[in-house]
Amino acid sequence: MLAVFARQPIASDCMGWLRMIADHAAAAINTARAFAEVDALRKQLELENEVLREELTEVGTFGELVGQSVALEAVARQIDLVAPTDAAVLILGESGTGKELVAREIHRRSKRSGRSLIKVNCAAVPRELYESEFFGHAKGAFTGALRDRIGRFELAEGGTLFLDEVGGIPLELQAKLLRVLQEGELERIGEERTRRVNVRIIAATNRDLRTEAEAGRFRQDLFYRLSVFPVEVPSLRRRKEDVPLLAEHFSETLARKLGKPKPVLTLAVAQRLQQYGWPGNVRELQHVIERALITSPPGRLRIELPTAGVAGPTLATSTADPPVRTDAQIRQLEADNIRAALNAASGKIAGPGGAAELLDIKPTTLSSRIKALGIQLSK
């Protein structure tokens, strides 16, 4: 409201001017209030974003590493420590544990993240092509060298070079690799010009390089150069609590890739996955989930696990034939198993955590078996 006080009566022709001034003043006040509200919302959003960033950092956003086990948190802490530096990192672990994901996360959190992460699978490079693969070659350096070729070290200039399966590098090439790591210089095959390179090295292996070095199969000086900061990636057997999270993650991503609806991961299936030994680690789990998505009916995940590697008392310790049981004994075993499931589910049959879910059967089927076996439900 715009109030005007005058000592004289206001002429009628002034009213139009007053209305115009009032309209402009109202618009200006509304705009000022809107800007003030936008500014307040912006400050609130900035505060919320800051809180979320702090939470993500503290809770442990491990990038592509999925899990919340103590073993994985220890790896995350090591990544936080070494990532901002330029120290060489040696990632140790069994095959399929996710060593490449750790290397990616170290690179992502480093000051070199704006440049490339170049990967070389040392075990897959033919012996005669190692020098060309790592250092490059000049045109005409050897038969088939029809043009200049840049090596992996130069490709990774300013970034990170990931040497996967570093234990597979031939012994005669290790001395040249050590020189590049120490001096930061290399020469292409067939070229006399010395080139400077600025590359961070992250290596990975599933071998015991210390034992290999002591046996003379790997250079000790190269081993010490690579293992400035060793990071051990735990096997899946040491982080069983992460198995359901990984299974849920793989079922979601692979279902989207295969164009199928995301299936329900029941408690019974999760427990079966946790009981398995996983000799192939995370990679094996991913393949098992993908195979299950292909073979399972829509909306339900049916897991098929090899008998070898299953942890627990179900493993046979002898090759003797199993005992033959009567029909009454089989029915008694089934009744005992259903009673155990009902006790674990506190008498609940259907729904999440119910006995039917634990037994991986339909609630109607379980109800029929309870009635047929004469099992009394506790009230």
Question: Is residue 183 domain-shared with residue 291, that is, in the same domain?
Answer: no
Question: Is residue 126 domain-shared with residue 35, that is, in the same domain?
Answer: no
Question: Is residue 190 domain-shared with residue 119, that is, in the same domain?
Answer: yes
Domain boundary among 247, 279, 295: 295
Residue 300 DSSP one-character state? B
Reduce the secondary structure of 335-359 to three states and give it as a string.
HHHHHHHHHHCCCCCCCCCCHHHHH
Question: Is residue 336 domain-shared with residue 244, that is, in the same domain?
Answer: no
pLDDT value at residue 193: 86
Question: Is residue 75 domain-shared with residue 204, that is, in the same domain?
Answer: yes
In a domain, 146, yes or no: yes
Domain boundary among 186, 214, 234: 234
Q: Tell me the CATH number at 272.
A: 1.10.8.60
Looking at residue 118, its amino acid is I
Describe the crossing of helices 363-373 and 327-344 by its angle, rounded to 10 degrees: 130
Tokens of 248: 């849920």
pLDDT value at residue 379: 58
pLDDT value at residue 63: 61
In a domain, 379, yes or no: no
In a domain, 48, yes or no: yes
Closest CA to 361 of 376, 343, 342, 378: 342
Question: Is residue 334 domain-shared with residue 187, that is, in the same domain?
Answer: no
Question: Is residue 102 domain-shared with residue 213, that is, in the same domain?
Answer: yes
Question: Is residue 101 domain-shared with residue 171, that is, in the same domain?
Answer: yes
Looking at residue 141, its amino acid is A
Per the DSSP assignment, residues forming a β-bridge with 160 are: 117, 200
Question: Is residue 347 domain-shared with residue 251, that is, in the same domain?
Answer: no
In a domain, 108, yes or no: yes
Instruction: Estimate the share of the chain in helix, then strand, then coil, as percent rounded to the nearest 5.
Output: 50, 10, 40
Q: What is the mean pLDDT of each run of 10 residues along the chain (379 residues)?
A: 77 80 86 86 67 46 75 92 94 93 94 92 88 88 82 92 92 89 90 90 93 91 93 93 90 89 85 90 92 85 70 39 67 81 81 78 83 77
User: What range does the domain containing 360 cover?
Assistant: 327-373
Total Cβ atoms within 10 A of residue 210 = 15
What's the domain count of the chain?
4
Rounded Cα–Cα distance for residues 10 and 1 (Å)? 18
Q: How far is CA 172 from the centre of its chain?
A: 36
Tokens of 138: 């000049």
Domain boundary among 234, 250, 282: 234
Q: What is the CA radius of gyration of the chain?
A: 33
Half-sphere exposure in the Cβ direction for 315 (13 Å, CA): 10
Question: Is residue 115 domain-shared with residue 203, that is, in the same domain?
Answer: yes
pLDDT value at residue 86: 94
Model-level pTM greater than 0.75?
no
Which residue's structure tokens are 């040249």?
Answer: 176
In a domain, 12, yes or no: no
Which SS3 state, helix, strand or coil, does residue 161 take?
strand
Closest CA to 72 of 63, 62, 82, 81: 62
Instruction: Write down the number of H helices and E strands in the chain.
Output: 14, 9
Question: Is residue 224 domain-shared with residue 242, that is, in the same domain?
Answer: no
Rounded Cα–Cα distance for residues 131 and 154 (Å)? 13
In a domain, 378, yes or no: no
- How far CA 252 is from CA of 120, 239, 245, 255, in Å, comes to 30, 21, 11, 5
User: Could you tell me if residue 351 is left (phi over 0), alpha (psi between -120 and 50 degrees) or otherwise beta?
Assistant: left
Residues 281 and 96: beta-carbon distance below 8 Å? yes
In a domain, 9, yes or no: no
Question: Is residue 95 domain-shared with residue 179, that is, in the same domain?
Answer: yes
In a domain, 322, yes or no: no
